[in-house]
C-alpha cells in the first residue's frame, strides 16, 4: 500500500533531471526564483557526463553561424526546423562564453581554444575539455555551482512518477524515493523535463543506467505532444568485447584520422559515402552493421595506431585508459567496434522557447524535440542544444518571449495516438526490462521492417495492458520504458520510408510525402 502526502513547500521551478540541461536551467532559474531539482540517481549521474566528442560552436577563424547552420540542416535529412537551427547556431558562441565564465576548462593550444573536426562538419568547430572528457568537465562545473547555491534544493535518488496537471496547466510533480513506497506531491509553478535520453531501451547502448526515457513518458501521460520518436541515433563505434561493457569511442577519433576497417583489415567507408570515415553517423552505423553481417558477426575495427602514440594518449586519455583496462593498446592495435544506441532525436515537442502544449510544462536537452536535429543529429550539437534552449526556456518563464502559438493542425504533420494492437496466436516473452531491451534491439534498431515493427507493437501493447499498477520505483521505471518504446515503435511503423537514423528495409528510399513530422499525443 502506498501513501501520498502533499508537500507544503511550493517551488517556482521544479526541474526533473540533473544532466547539463537540467543543471544549466537550475542555475539560470535560481536568479529569479526558488528551484527544486529531482533526480533518480546522483546529481552527476546522467548522459551528458559521458559526452566525449565535445561541443560544437562557430567560434573559429573562417567559420560562421551560417556554415554551422548549413551543416546541421544537411545532416538532418530534410526534417530540421530552420528557425530552431538558426537559434542553436546563432546563439552557440554566447553559450560557450557563459561556460568559460563559469570556469569550464576547455582545451587550448598556444593560449587559444583548440578546435577539432568531426563527421559531417565542414569546419573545425568542436571544443573539448580534458581531451575526451568534455561532458564530465561541464557537468562537474555546473554541479559544483548548483551544490553551492542556497536557492537550489536537490532531491537525489528520488523518482518523479507523475507530472500533475489540472485543466491543461501544470500544478506540480509527484515523487517517491528509490527505496520508499511513500509518495509526495510537490507543488510548483513551472515544471521542466530534462531527463535525457532512453538508450536503456536497447540491449547495447552508450547510455548510463538512468537513461530510461522517464521524462518523455511523464510528459506524454500529462498531455504533452511528443514528436520524431522514430529517429534514434546509433553511435557507430562502441567498444565490442565480451569482457567489457559497451563503451563509447568518440567520433572525434575519426576526426583525428582513425580509419574503420572490416574484420579482414580492409578500409570500407569510401565505398559507402564520399566523406568516407567522416560520413554522417547513420551511414557509418549501417555500413558497420553490413560489414559485420558479411563477416558472420565479427566486429569492425577502428584503427588509430598509425598516429603518433603521444598524440593518441593526450587527445584521448579516457578512451586509452579504458581500453588498456581490457588489454588493448590503441596506439599499437585496432579496436573492435560495433554500433550502439546513443541519442534520441525525438522527444517532448517544444517550440524554440522550450514550451510545450501544456501550460507551465517545459522541456530541454535530449528529452525535448524542437526538430533542431531533424532525422539525424550533427555530431557535438547535443551539448550546445542543452545550453542554448535551457537559457531560452528561463527567458520564456519570465515573459521575455513572444506569446506561445499552439501547433497548427494544418501544418502537414501526421498526428496519431497509440493504437491498441492485439496478439493473435503468438508466443509472447515474459514482460521485463531485459526482454524489452532485446525486443527493441532486434526489431527497432539500426534496420527495421514493417513485419517486425508490427509484432513489436503488439507485444508492447500486451505488456502494457497486463502490467499491474506500479508500486515500486522500478515498477514506474518499467512503465515509462514501455510507454516510450511504444511511442518509438508506433512512429517507426507509420513512417514508410528511410530517412536519417530511421531505416526501413521494406521502404529503403526517402519519400517526399514523408518530409513531415509524426506527432503523438494521448
In the chain, CATH 3.50.50.60 covers 3-231+345-397
Catalytic residues: 281
Beta bridge partners of 349: 369
CATH of domain 3-231+345-397: 3.50.50.60
pTM: 0.91
Give the pLDDT confidence score for residue 216 in this predicted structure: 98
Grid cell listed for 462 = 500486451
- What is the spatial distance between Cα 312 and Cα 305, in angstroms, rounded to a whole number? 8
Judge whether 510 and 231 are in contact, CB under 8 Å.
no
Choosing among 3.40.1010.10, 3.40.640.10, 3.90.700.10, 3.40.50.300, the CATH entry for 237-339 is 3.90.700.10
User: How many Cβ atoms are within 10 Å of 506's Cβ, its own excluded?
Assistant: 12
Closest CA to 278 of 306, 251, 238: 251
Q: What percent of the chain has pLDDT over 90?
A: 83
Judge whether 96 and 127 are in contact, CB under 8 Å.
yes
Q: What is the pLDDT of residues 95-153, one digit of tens each?
A: 999 999 999 999 999 999 999 888 789 999 999 998 778 888 898 999 999 999 999 99
In the chain, CATH 3.90.700.10 covers 237-339
128-164 b/e (C-beta count within 10 Å ≥ 16 → b): bbbbbbbbbbbbbbbbebbeeeebbbbbbebbbbbbb
Class of domain 414-520: mainly alpha
Closest CA to 57 of 479, 315, 276, 379: 379
- What is the spatial distance between Cα 5 and Cα 42, in angstroms, rounded to a whole number? 24
Burial class for 32, CB neighbours closer than 10 Å (0-12, 13-18, 19+): middle
Give the pLDDT confidence score for residue 518 in this predicted structure: 98
Residue 49 pLDDT grade (very low, low, confident, very high; cuts 50, 70, 90): low
Closest CA to 38 of 222, 213, 225, 215: 215
In the chain, CATH 1.20.58.100 covers 414-520
Q: What is the pLDDT of residues 326-335, one digit of tens each?
A: 999 999 999 9
CA 30, 373, 240, 455 dihedral sign is: positive
Cell 522550450: give the residue: 354
Judge whether 84 and 381 are in contact, CB under 8 Å.
no
The length of the chain in residues reads 522
Amino acid at each position: 500500500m502506498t501513501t501520498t502526502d502533499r508537500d507544503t513547500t511550493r517551488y517556482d521551478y521544479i526541474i526533473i533531471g540533473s544532466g547539463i540541461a537540467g543543471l544549466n536551467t537550475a542555475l539560470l532559474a535560481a536568479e529569479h526564483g526558488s528551484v527544486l531539482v529531482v533526480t533518480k540517481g546522483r546529481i552527476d549521474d546522467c548522459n551528458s557526463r559521458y559526452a566525449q566528442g565535445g561541443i560544437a560552436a562557430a567560434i573559429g577563424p573562417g567559420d560562421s553561424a551560417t556554415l554551422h547552420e548549413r551543416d546541421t540542416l544537411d545532416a538532418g535529412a530534410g526534417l530540421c526546423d530552420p528557425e530552431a537551427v538558426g537559434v542553436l547556431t546563432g546563439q552557440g558562441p554566447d553559450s560557450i562564453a557563459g561556460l568559460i565564465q563559469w570556469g569550464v576548462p576547455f582545451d587550448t593550444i598556444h593560449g587559444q581554444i583548440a578546435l577539432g573536426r568531426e563527421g559531417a562538419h565542414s569546419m573545425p568547430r568542436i571544443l573539448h575539455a580534458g581531451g575526451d572528457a568534455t561532458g564530465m568537465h561541464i557537468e562537474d562545473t555546473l554541479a559544483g555551482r548548483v551544490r553551492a547555491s542556497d536557492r537550489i534544493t536537490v532531491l537525489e535518488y528520488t523518482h518523479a512518477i507523475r507530472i500533475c496537471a489540472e485543466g491543461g496547466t501544470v500544478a506540480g510533480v509527484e515523487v517517491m524515493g528509490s527505496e520508499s513506497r511513500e509518495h509526495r506531491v510537490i507543488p510548483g509553478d513551472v515544471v521542466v523535463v530534462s531527463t535525457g535520453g532512453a538508450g536503456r531501451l536497447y540491449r547495447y547502448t552508450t547510455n548510463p543506467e538512468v537513461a530510461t526515457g522517464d521524462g518523455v513518458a511523464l510528459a506524454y501521460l500529462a498531455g504533452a505532444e511528443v514528436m520524431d520518436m522514430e529517429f534514434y541515433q546509433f553511435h557507430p563505434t562502441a567498444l565490442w568485447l565480451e569482457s567489457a561493457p559497451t563503451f563509447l569511442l568518440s567520433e572525434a577519433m575519426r576526426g583525428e584520422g582513425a580509419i574503420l576497417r572490416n574484420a579482414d583489415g580492409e578500409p570500407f567507408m569510401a565505398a559507402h559515402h564520399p566523406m568516407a570515415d567522416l560520413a554522417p553517423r547513420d551511414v557509418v552505423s549501417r555500413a558497420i552493421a553490413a560489414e559485420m553481417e558479411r563477416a558472420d558477426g565479427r566486429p569492425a575495427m577502428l584503427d588509430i595506431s598509425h598516429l603518433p602514440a603521444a598524440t593518441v594518449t593526450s587527445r584521448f586519455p579516457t578512451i586509452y585508459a579504458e581500453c588498456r583496462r581490457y588489454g588493448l593498446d590503441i596506439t599499437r592495435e585496432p579496436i573492435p567496434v560495433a554500433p550502439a544506441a546513443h541519442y534520441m532525436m525525438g522527444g517532448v515537442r517544444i517550440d524554440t522557447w522550450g514550451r510545450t502544449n501544456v501550460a507551465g510544462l517545459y522541456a530541454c536537452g535530449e528529452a525535448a524535440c524542437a526538430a533542431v536535429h531533424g532525422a539525424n543529429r550533427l555530431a557535438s550539437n547535443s551539448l550546445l542544444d542543452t545550453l542554448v534552449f535551457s537559457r531560452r526556456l528561463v527567458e520564456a518563464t519570465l515573459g521575455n518571449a513572444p506569446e506561445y502559438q499552439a501547433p497548427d493542425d494544418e501544418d502537414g504533420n501526421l498526428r496519431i495516438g497509440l493504437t491498441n494492437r492485439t496478439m493473435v496466436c503468438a508466443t509472447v516473452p515474459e514482460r521485463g526490462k531485459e526482454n524489452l531491451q532485446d525486443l527493441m534491439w532486434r526489431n527497432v534498431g539500426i534496420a527495421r521492417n514493417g513485419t517486425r515493427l508490427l509484432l513489436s507493437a503488439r507485444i508492447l501493447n500486451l505488456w502494457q495492458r497486463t502490467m499491474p499498477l506500479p508500486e515500486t520505483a522500478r515498477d514506474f521505471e518499467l512503465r515509462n520504458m514501455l510507454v516510450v518504446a511504444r511511442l518509438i515503435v508506433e512512429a517507426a511503423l507509420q513512417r514508410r520510408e528511410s530517412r536519417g537514423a530511421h531505416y526501413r528495409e521494406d521502404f529503403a528510399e526517402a519519400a517526399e510525402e514523408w518530409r513531415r513530422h509524426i506527432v503523438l499525443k494521448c
